[in-house]
Amino acid sequence: MIDLGPHILFILGSYIGAALVVMLLIFGVWAGSNKQKKRLADLEAQGIVRRSQSTES
């Protein structure tokens, strides 16, 4: 690892803070996507499907 000098806390703080926000963002988008997929799967399991899907089957 390189020597980041006397301002190491500012440099690492920036990267760690940015990484935390990005991880939260990724988790939020991923969790939102999973939630909607599960909702649609639950509806489909109850036989509630889109008209185009019900005519196909």
Residues in touch with other proteins (CB under 8 A): 1-5, 7-8, 10-11, 13-15, 17-18, 21-22, 24-26, 28-30, 32-33, 35-37, 39-40, 43, 48-50
CB closer to other proteins out of 5 and 55? 5
Q: Are 15 and 21 in contact (CB under 8 A)?
A: no
CB of 48 to other proteins, least distance (A): 5
Paired tokens of 38: 């599960």
Three-state DSSP state, 3: coil
CB of 56 to other proteins, least distance (A): 13
